[in-house]
Amino acid sequence: PLHRHRCVVAFGDTDASGWMHFPNAFRDAEAAEHEFLRSRGVLVFDRAEGGWPRVKAGAEFKRPLLPGDSIEVLLRISRIGGASVTWEFEILNPGGEPAVSGTMTSVRVNAAGRPQVLSQEERDALG
């Protein structure tokens, strides 16, 4: 993986069944993405300079994640386009087994919300 992010499933992150509610997997994957971008000095969001809105996301849920579970998000880049980045993520349960896998695509936009070609500096920072 390009980046690892660790966190704990909170009680409020679960649904009535006691399992992590599905949008929270995307929240944790996004937290890993933002942590990685900040660690590389890449802008996450600035009203004057734009950001990286999500344009596509999908996931497969394989195993439950329960309140109190220490989980690990593994993040990698699968594609860098002209103005976009597609991320692959996998969330491991406390036993190290894949619980969720998915992809997210973000587009670099300027302050007006229009796609902005990634600079060479941004490409280099992404690895």
Express the helix, strand and coil content of the chain in percent, nearest 5 each.
20, 40, 40
Residue 34: domain span: 3-126
Cα angle value 87/124/48 (rounded, 5°): 80
Residue 126's Cβ-count burial label (10 Å; 0-12, 13-18, 19+) is middle
**Residue-wise pLDDT tens digits, 70-109:** 999 999 999 999 999 999 999 999 999 999 999 999 999 9
Tell me the whole-structure pTM to 2 decimals: 0.92
Number of domains in the chain: 1
Q: Which of 125, 2, 101 is nearest to 52 (CA)?
A: 125
**Residue-wise pLDDT tens digits, 7-23:** 999 999 999 888 899 99
**CATH number of the domain residue 20 falls in:** 3.10.129.10
